[in-house]
């Protein structure tokens, strides 16, 4: 299985910052709630490895949790009680959970839908990956669908990153094709989640990891690569790169990369 990369500290602390319902003239209009104080975890659970928030709902990924199996992972959903506190609303885990799936490695929430990545799921081979969709029924969070790549292979880590906007879900698999990477886009039709596109940027090399992180707003998708290499020989320049996709044939619109000028240490963004 793909090892779960974590900080040196055994537990992460997640704090939720909430804008107080006061005037904009307030100099310090934020309060915080330390979620760890209301959660009983264990060493190496990695509480807070992934987080997301929408409205009054907070989603916390715990990919190392042993709730349903060794390192199978879980997701905790908290609700703002309106009194400055958070109430545990649900604990999510997949119906087919298995050891070392690392469910909760990535999370996203919009409206009444939560998407969770489990990059070490084994449906298409060791660490091929999966993503799960949950929907709020009005009284509880209910499993809706399991998303899988149409060309999944071992070690792809599909579900390493997830993003959600309306009826569109984006899932990254940065280790596909010897770490070149790709992304999938799913759309909900008549209650079913259907693959509507799969994309891998052209001209990439191994270790570029296209799909390392993803974001979506409307029909614009942003995809990051974290290890793009330039040049030949033993010394290579490494930097992060992002691509923007739009729904017009889901074509690449622009590629941006941070660069540093020789006479300045300040990064700049350039289109390529």
Give the separation between CA 192 and CA 235, rounded to whole angstroms.
48
* Residues paired with residue 152 on neighbouring β-strands, in sequence order: none
Residue 44's pLDDT band (cuts 50, 70, 90): confident
Top-confidence residue, 100 or 170 = 170
Q: In what order do the strands lie in the sheet with 192-199?
A: 161-165, 168-173, 182-189, 192-199
Q: What is the mean pLDDT of the chain?
A: 75
Q: State the pLDDT at residue 68.
A: 81
pLDDT of 45: 79
Residues with Cβ < 8 Å from 149, sequence gap 6 or more? 124, 128, 129, 156, 158, 171, 173, 176, 184, 198
Tokens representing 110?
């919009």
Is residue 241 one of the residues assigned to a domain? Answer: no
Give pLDDT tens digits for 231-241.
433 333 334 45
CA distance 34 to 75: 17
Q: Is residue 219 part of a domain?
A: no
More confident residue, 263 or 117: 117
**pLDDT for residue 21 is more than 90:** no
Task: Work out the percent of the chain whose per-residue pLDDT is above 70.
Answer: 65
The confidence score (pLDDT) of residue 226 equals 73
Task: Say what the alpha-carbon torsion angle 52, 223, 3, 78 is, to the nearest 10 degrees.
Answer: 10
Number of domains in the chain: 1
For residue 20, tell me if it sits in a domain.
yes
Least confident span in 52-61, 67-76, 120-129: 67-76
- How far apart are alpha carbons 56 and 16 in whole angstroms? 11
3-state secondary structure of 177: helix
Question: Which residue has better confidence, 236 or 122?
Answer: 122
pLDDT category of residue 155 using cuts at 50, 70 and 90: very high
Provide the CATH number for the domain around residue 55: 2.130.10.130
117 inside domain: yes
- Closest Cα partner for 59 from 20, 90, 25, 13? 90
Task: Output the CA–CA distances (angstroms, integers) from residue 111 to 58, 93, 193, 223, in the order listed.
Answer: 12, 19, 17, 22
Local confidence band at 39 (pLDDT 50, 70, 90 cut-offs)? low
**174 within domain boundaries:** yes
Percent of the chain beyond pLDDT 90? 38
**Is the confidence at residue 29, as pLDDT, over 90?**
no
**Is the pLDDT score of 173 beyond 60?**
yes
Q: Range of 39's domain?
A: 15-209
Residue 233 covered by a domain: no
Three-state DSSP class for residue 29:
coil
Q: Which H or E element spans position 116? A: strand 113-118
CA distances (Å), origin 233, targets 23, 100, 184, 200, 236: 59, 38, 33, 25, 7
- Using pLDDT thresholds of 50, 70 and 90, give the confidence band for residue 17: very low
Largest CA distance in the chain: 60
The reply to whether 5 falls in a domain is no
Q: Do the domain assignments include residue 106?
A: yes
Q: Is the pLDDT of residue 20 over 70?
A: no
């Amino acid at each position: 299985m793909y090892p779960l990369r974590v900080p040196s500290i055994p537990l992460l602390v997640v704090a939720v910052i909430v804008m107080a319902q006061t005037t904009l003239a307030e100099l310090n209009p934020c309060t915080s709630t330390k979620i760890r104080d209301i959660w009983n975890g264990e060493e190496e659970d990695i509480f807070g490895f992934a987080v997301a928030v929408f409205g009054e709902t907070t989603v916390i990924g715990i990919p190392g949790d042993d709730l349903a199996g060794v390192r199978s992972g879980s997701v905790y959903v908290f609700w703002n009680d309106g009194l400055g506190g958070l109430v545990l609303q649900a604990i999510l885990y997949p119906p087919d959970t298995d050891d070392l799936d690392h469910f909760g490695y990535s999370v996203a929430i919009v409206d009444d839908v939560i998407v969770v990545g489990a990059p070490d799921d084994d449906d298409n081979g060791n660490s091929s990956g999966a993503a799960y969709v949950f929907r709020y029924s009005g009284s509880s969070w209910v499993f809706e669908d399991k998303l899988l790549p149409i060309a999944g292979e071992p070690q792809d880590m599909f579900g390493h990153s997830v993003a959600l906007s309306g009826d569109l879900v984006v899932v990254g698999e940065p280790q596909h094709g010897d770490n070149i990477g790709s992304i999938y886009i799913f759309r909900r039709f008549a209650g079913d989640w259907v693959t509507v596109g799969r994309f891998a940027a052209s001209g990439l090399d191994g270790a570029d990891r296209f799909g390392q992180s993803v974001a979506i707003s409307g029909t614009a998708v942003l995809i990051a690569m974290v290890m793009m290499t330039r040049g030949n020989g033993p010394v290579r320049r490494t930097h992060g790169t992002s691509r923007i996709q739009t729904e017009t044939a889901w074509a690449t619109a622009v590629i941006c990369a941070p660069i540093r000028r020789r006479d300045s240490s300040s990064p700049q963004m350039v289109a390529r």
